[in-house]
Amino acid sequence: MSSPYRLAVVGTGGIAHLHAEQLRDHCQGRIELVAAVDPDTDRLDAFKEKFGVEHGYASIEALLAAETLDLVDLCTPPVAHAPGAIAALEAGVGVICEKPPALSLAEFDRIAAAAAVSKGDFALISQHRFGSGADRVRDMTASGVLGRLAVAKCDTLWYRPEEYFAVEWRGRWETEGGGPTMGHGIHQIDTLLSMVGPWSEVVATAHRHRRITNTEDVSHAIVTLESGASVVITNSLLSPREVSQIRLDFDNATVELDHLYGYGDDNWSVHPIAAAAEEVHRAWAGEPRGKSSGHYAQFLRIADALDGKTAPPVTIEDSRRTLELLAAIYASAFTGKRVRAGEIDPTSPFYQRMDGTGAPWPDRK
């Protein structure tokens, strides 16, 4: 077996601890956590001690100058994703980046340009794509056993109290990029698109009902897919009974996913029509099975890609398609117009910022 790939975590907040735990518990022998970055010395030292990390740095520039790395894992606030990704790619180091990948399509396209000329690749964390339930739905869709998709829904109904937004970078367009559409619903939306294919147009609304933020706290969207199927999406941070749900109504069966922050096989259910019940149940009982969604599953797939010298499992194009839909949701919500895929080009204000020329409510300082 080849030596493990050398990875450094940039940012040592809560999500970095989850990544490090997944690497330690599931990826030993494949990926080794060798360094960490955080300008907060106390937080950096606590992370190093907890996970046995030898080297620590105050900046990604210092890290890249001192370490020989295969991967940089960006766990910083969203405002630092694009600068960190571009710095690593320009140094020839592959990037794993937490969501959202950038604050805007303009920033993302700069990442894509850096990746195009780098020997490293860019991979967006899309952990819910990699559970066996989502794999099985994709396989059954491809085989035709489910029939054609007609209708779907995708809900991220979470709850974040006012104190959650006391963290300075949260709830601000210039540092978080958006509200639950951008920072929370992106997980479910990305998983949905991985199963149903590209989108073609969207009509949306966004609202700031309760939270003292500059971004929205609720959004709703009606999305038409290239296949012609329609999807209703809701993203909320005002829902005390938290749930993450995807429902797919095919001609032959309804497939449902009901979880919160991660799923196993038991979180999925299938409800076929009588005429297709035997065939659908037989396929649903098949493989793949037994793999929960989680960061470790994507980390291992990235290691496989490095072994085979291939692109990571979630491509630049995949990541951009998801981010473009989020930009289109905001553009439709704030202009009152239908937005089609490809319309948000460099001439659009929504290419440079997710809020375009500004949200339809006053800023809150």
Phi first, then psi: give them for residue 243, nearest 5 degrees: -160, 150
CA distance 85 to 94: 9
b/e 321-332 (16+ beta carbons within 10 angstroms → b): bbbbbbbbbbbb
For residue 293, what pLDDT is reported?
Answer: 95
For residue 108, what pLDDT is reported?
Answer: 98
CA 160, 166, 172, 178: dihedral to nearest 10 degrees? -20
Per-residue pLDDT of the chain (365 residues; tens, 9 = 90+): 578 999 999 999 999 999 999 999 999 999 999 999 999 999 999 999 999 999 999 999 999 999 999 999 999 999 999 999 999 999 999 999 999 999 999 999 999 999 999 999 999 999 999 999 999 999 999 999 999 999 999 999 999 999 999 999 999 999 999 999 999 999 999 999 999 999 999 999 999 999 999 999 999 999 999 999 999 999 999 999 999 999 999 999 999 999 999 999 999 999 999 999 999 999 999 999 999 999 999 999 999 999 999 989 999 999 999 999 999 999 999 999 999 999 999 999 999 999 999 999 999 87
For residue 327, what pLDDT is reported?
Answer: 98
SS (H, E, C) the chain: CCCCEEEEEECCCHHHHHHHHHHHHHCCCCEEEEEEECCCHHHHHHHHHHHCCCEEECCHHHHHHHCCCCEEEECCCHHHHHHHHHHHHHCCCEEEECCCCCCCHHHHHHHHHHHHCCCCCEEECCHHHHCHHHHHHHHHHHHCCCCCEEEEEEEEEEECCHHHHHCCCCCCHHHHCCCHHHHCCHHHHHHHHHHHCCEEEEEEEEECCCCCCCCCCEEEEEEEECCCCEEEEEEECEEEEEEEEEEEEECCEEEEEEECCCCCHHHEEEEECHHHHHHHHHHHCCCCCCCCCCHHHHHHHHHHHHHHCCCCCCCHHHHHHHHHHHHHHHHHHHHCCCEECCCCCCCCHHHHCCCCCCCCCCCCC
pTM: 0.97
CB 98 within 8 A of CB 72: no
- Show the CA angle centred on residue 160, arms to residues 157 and 162, nearest 5°: 145
CA distance 292 to 246: 16
Omega into 313 within 30° of 0, i.e. cis?
A: no
Please give the structure tokens belonging to residue 344.
């948000």
For residue 214, what pLDDT is reported?
Answer: 98
| CA separation, residue 62 to residues 12, 236, 262 (Å) | 16, 39, 34
For residue 364, what pLDDT is reported?
Answer: 87
For residue 3, what pLDDT is reported?
Answer: 81
